[in-house]
Homo-oligomer: A and B are copies of this chain.
Amino acid sequence: MTLPRDYTGLSCSLARSLEIVGERWTLLIVRDAFYGVRRFGDFAAHLGVPRAVLTDRLATLTEADVLARVPGAGRREVYELTPKGVTLWPVVRALTCWGDEHYAEGGPRRVYRHAADDAPIAADGRCTRCELPVEVRDILVTPGPGLGPGSEDDDPVTVALSRPHRLLHPLRG
**A-side interface residues toward B, CB under 8 Å?**
1, 3-4, 6-9, 11-18, 21-22, 24-25, 27-28, 31, 46-48, 84, 87-88, 90-106, 108-109, 123-125, 133, 146-148, 158
Copies of this protein chain in the complex: 2
Once bound together, how far apart are the Cα atoms of A8 and B48, in whole Å?
8
Chain B residues contacting A90 (CB-CB under 8 Å) are 94, 97-98, 123
Given A27-B22, A48-B7, A102-B84, A13 and B123 contact (CB-CB distance below 8 Å): no
Given contacts A22-B24, A87-B101, 15 further A-B contacts (CB under 8 A): A6-B48, A8-B47, A11-B105, A11-B147, A13-B97, A13-B108, A14-B92, A14-B95, A16-B99, A17-B95, A22-B22, A90-B123, A93-B94, A94-B94, A124-B125
